Amino acid sequence: MTDSARYGDYTPAAAGTPFEPRPGQVPVGGDGDAGDAGGAGGGPETGIDPIALTDDDLLREMGSLHRTRLDTLRHGTDAALANHLHRTADLETEYLTRNPGREVDPARLREGR
């Protein structure tokens, strides 16, 4: 695995800290599926700013990214994987910001936690 694909500027310890916009990041419309080519300004499509999404749209975007994660990991370029990682972190950070007291299912807890 190359260093560029490992985490880029993201580290798991930084989860919960919003990212600064990446160089050349241009929020665009469309389906918002991260990793698509094209979009405004000819750069990679990064999707709509998570802050601007409704709650339903935010959940839909996260679901789309989670469905495409394994394929991107196994077959995407380093750039596509990095974009996928950043977009996922951006969306999940926004979700956690909106839902700080989200319900935790006791069945998902390990014993003693």
Alpha helices in 37-77 (DSSP H): 55-75
Is 107 contained in some domain?
Answer: no
Q: With beta carbons less than 8 A apart as the criterion, state whether 34 and 45 touch.
A: yes
Q: How far apart are CA 52 and CA 99, in angstroms?
A: 16
pTM (2 decimals)?
0.59
Domain around 68: 49-99
Mind listing the pLDDT tens digit for each residue in 57-110?
Answer: 999 999 999 999 999 999 999 999 999 999 999 999 999 999 998 888 888 888
Q: Which helix (H) or strand (E) holds 6?
A: helix 3-6
Residue 27 falls inside a structural domain: no
pLDDT number for residue 69: 94
Q: Does residue 64 belong to any structural domain of this protein?
A: yes
- Residue 68 inside a domain? The answer is yes
pLDDT tens-place string over residues 13-31: 444 444 454 555 444 333 3
Q: Is residue 76 part of a domain?
A: yes
Tell me if 105 is assigned to some domain.
Answer: no
**Is the residue at 32 inside a domain?**
no
Q: How many domains does the structure of the chain reveal?
A: 1
